[in-house]
Amino acid sequence: MRPAWSILLFTTLSGTAQGLLLALAVASWLMPLDTGFALTAIALAEVLLVGGLLASFFHLGQKARAWRAAAMWRTSWMSREVIVLPLLMGLVALWWLALYLGASQLALQALSAAVVVVTLALWVCTAMIYACLRFLQEWAHPLTVINFTLLGMSSGSVLLCALASGMGQTELLAWLQPWVLASTLLAWFLRRRALRRNARLSPHSSLQSATGIHQPQLVQKSMGMSAGSFNTREFFHGATARTVRRMPWVFQLLLFVLPLLLLALLGTQSALVWLGAVLLQFVGLLAERWVFFAQARHPQNLYYQTVS
């Protein structure tokens, strides 16, 4: 499949915001948080959600009809995502406002619990857009939902640690560090498992089944046209096989190895170190999401991915 930059940015930004909100909400249940810090963290998450929403608009063909995307909510995971994302943004805004106005602890806990539930629902909706496509074996697996969730938890908690370190929230920073380590290592383990699974997959379709010509030596020599088409643009990434093989190692290095090494070697008290981990993970997340799309082999590419 072709990785669209609008979707790469949307899933990266919104996933990080969701991870930040989840870690912040759980922390608020277990310890008193500085009001100024909490307001800043919630506002940052809202900015990331808005940025992700704006990025997703570039993926629409008819932007003026974007409201119609929610019409098929009974059967479409994309429609459900379109509904759940603004709902989460509204709850985050209410949480910020309630905290700013000094609402009761019970009201704040209720709002943070609602944010957690809708955050988890958004991860499910976003991931199921891809996991429900049974003809794409690389996506049609529970690991798709799990990895979307864990990668968001890891990147969001790292960003929250960077903010906590920069604002002098040492108690929260100490509490978050095991959360960061656990979520990052678990995300790495399960993402590697998904990569190994995808590498062992055997396509259900072949040139013989696609064409109805049951000749064992059947070979594709041309995609049947002299120029590109919608099929070649939308269902094939266009990268070389060498690039596709190397990109998984690139994103694992940027997303998991280098941030963990940076924190282990330079310490976890410096805001600059945490900021470096955030930047590495952001680039790594974009690379990971590129691999997620590029590794999905659409059956129509039996016809269109080879050029004579």
DSSP state of 256: I
Report if residue 13 sits inside a domain: yes
- pLDDT given at position 215: 79
Contact predicate 209/282, CB 8 Å: no
CA distance 177 to 282: 18
What is the chain's Cα-based Rg?
21
Report if residue 222 sits inside a domain: no
Q: Tell me the pLDDT of the chain (308 aa) as tens digits.
A: 677 888 899 999 999 999 999 999 999 999 999 999 999 999 999 999 999 998 887 766 666 566 667 777 888 899 999 999 999 999 999 999 999 999 999 999 999 999 999 999 999 999 999 999 988 889 999 999 999 999 999 999 999 999 999 999 999 999 999 999 999 999 999 999 999 999 998 777 777 776 777 878 877 766 555 555 666 666 667 677 788 889 999 999 999 999 999 999 998 889 999 999 999 999 999 999 999 998 887 777 666 655 43
- In what helix (H) or strand (E) does residue 90 lie, and over which residues does it extend? helix 77-100
Report if residue 36 sits inside a domain: yes
Report if residue 223 sits inside a domain: no
Report if residue 209 sits inside a domain: no
- pLDDT given at position 19: 97
Please return the burial class of 269, using the count of CB atoms within 10 Å of its CB with bins 0-12, 13-18 and 19+.
Answer: exposed
CATH number at residue 94: 1.20.1630.10
- pLDDT given at position 71: 77
CA distance 12 to 18: 10
- pLDDT given at position 308: 38
Cβ atoms within 10 Å, residue 227? 7
**Total domain count, the chain:** 1
Domain that holds residue 268: 5-199+229-304
Contact predicate 12/286, CB 8 Å: yes
Predicted TM-score of the model (pTM): 0.90
Report if residue 251 sits inside a domain: yes
Report if residue 221 sits inside a domain: no
Report if residue 219 sits inside a domain: no
Query: What are the residues whose beta carbons fall under 8 Å from the beta carbon of 261, sequence distance 6 or more?
Result: none
